[in-house]
């Protein structure tokens, strides 16, 4: 049984103006997502500003999310690190809170060889019992999970079951699916490639777009899975301008700005991420309005 199908939101971490985490606002947004049909929550991922959360904050946010969602939809905890030991510690703690699964980004900055990635992921997998989704985003980490490495891991560990593919390389994604077959749950990590990845056997998206348009993202991600090919393609093309605007600066600067423009009051970003440049704000306003969100 899959961890989820359809749309998981890579949810932002709301903050007060002083930069402290706003857990009450997180509760509010989680309830909204459940009402809007979001299929799963990914908490403390890149979009949740995990690099600037200290470990106690990181774990507090995961715990609060699990408690608030209370089993209504899956909660996938981002517990990746460029330290295998730290990733294990956070993963074990997230499992103890009741997280349904883990999202583990590749080691960043210090990086790893392909054999190192096999050991890194295997050691984490052996420390927990819940399912694991690998997160491949080489543009941010400098490390690429090669298809052969992904195939090795899903076939040689008991609980590495999925991959969030954000390499942008459709040929690589096809190779992953060809080598792994039904042993892997394939999720798009790019909102502008949801339908192409599903056409290759993917079962959904871990989405930034869903922060501002959760029902649309759910409907798009499930349309192709239900055989509605023309509807799925139309929706994918429809959202491309908004996706481009949401990534005109480094994520999550635009999406947090968008949510504030929509009146959701998710607060500021933590440095080194700061306010959007004025021309990009105007672009974002334009595309949000065109999408009916302003």
Q: DSSP states of 185-245 as a string?
A: EEEES-GGGHHHHHHTT--EEEESGGGT-HHHHHHHHHHGGGT-HHHHHHHHHHTHHHHHH
Q: ∠ CA 220-226-228 to the nearest 5 degrees?
A: 65
Q: How far apart are CA 225 and CA 227, in angstroms?
A: 5
Q: Which element (helix H / strand E) includes 96?
A: helix 84-97
Structure tokens at 263: 């009146």
Is 121 noted as a catalytic residue in this protein? no
| Residues 108 and 136: beta-carbon distance below 8 Å | no
* Active-site annotation holds for 135: yes
User: b/e for 11-40, b at 16 or more Cβ within 10 A?
Assistant: bbbbbeeeeebbbebbbebbeebbebbbbb
DSSP of 23-46 = HHHHHHHHHHHHHHT--EEEESST
- CA–CA distance, 223 with 230 (Å, rounded to integer): 9
C-alpha to C-alpha distances, 285 to 82, 131, 160, 213, nearest whole angstrom: 36, 38, 40, 14
- Interacting residues of 285 by C-beta distance below 8 A, sequence separation 6+: 261, 294
One of 25, 63, 118, 164 is an active-site residue; which one? 164
Place of tokens 């106690």: 56
Q: Which residues contact 257 (CB under 8 A, 6 or more apart)?
A: 275, 276, 281, 284
75-78 and 101-105 strand pairing: parallel
Task: Name the active-site residue from 63, 118, 135, 177.
Answer: 135
Q: Catalytic residue numbers?
A: 135, 164
């Amino acid at each position: 049984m899959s961890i989820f199908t359809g749309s998981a939101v890579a949810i932002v971490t709301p903050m007060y103006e002083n930069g402290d985490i706003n857990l009450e606002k997180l509760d509010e947004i989680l309830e909204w997502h459940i009402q809007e049909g979001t299929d799963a929550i990914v908490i403390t991922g890149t979009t949740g500003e995990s690099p600037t959360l200290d470990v106690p904050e990181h774990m507090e946010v995961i715990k609060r999310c699990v408690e608030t969602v209370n089993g209504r939809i899956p909660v996938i905890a981002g517990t990746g690190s460029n330290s295998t030991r730290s990733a294990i510690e956070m993963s074990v703690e997230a499992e103890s809170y009741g997280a349904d699964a883990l999202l583990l980004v590749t080691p960043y900055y210090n990086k790893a060889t392909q054999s190192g990635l096999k050991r890194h992921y295997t050691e984490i997998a052996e420390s927990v019992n819940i399912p694991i989704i690998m997160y491949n985003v080489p543009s941010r980490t400098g490390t690429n999970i090669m298809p052969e490495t992904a195939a090795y891991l899903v076939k040689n560990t008991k609980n590495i079951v999925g991959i969030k593919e954000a390499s942008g390389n459709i040929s690589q994604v096809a190779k992953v699916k060809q080598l792994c077959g039904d042993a892997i749950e394939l999720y798009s990590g790019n909102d502008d490639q949801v339908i192409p990845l599903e056409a290759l056997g993917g079962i959904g998206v871990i989405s930034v777009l869903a922060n501002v348009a959760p029902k649309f993202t759910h409907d798009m991600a499930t349309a192709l899975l239900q055989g509605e090919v023309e509807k799925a393609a139309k929706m994918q093309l429809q959202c491309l301008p908004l996706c481009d605007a949401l990534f005109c600066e480094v994520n999550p600067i635009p999406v947090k700005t968008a949510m504030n423009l929509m009146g959701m009051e998710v607060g500021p970003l933590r440095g080194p991420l700061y306010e959007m440049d004025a021309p990009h704000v105007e672009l974002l306003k334009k595309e949000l309005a065109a999408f009916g969100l302003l």
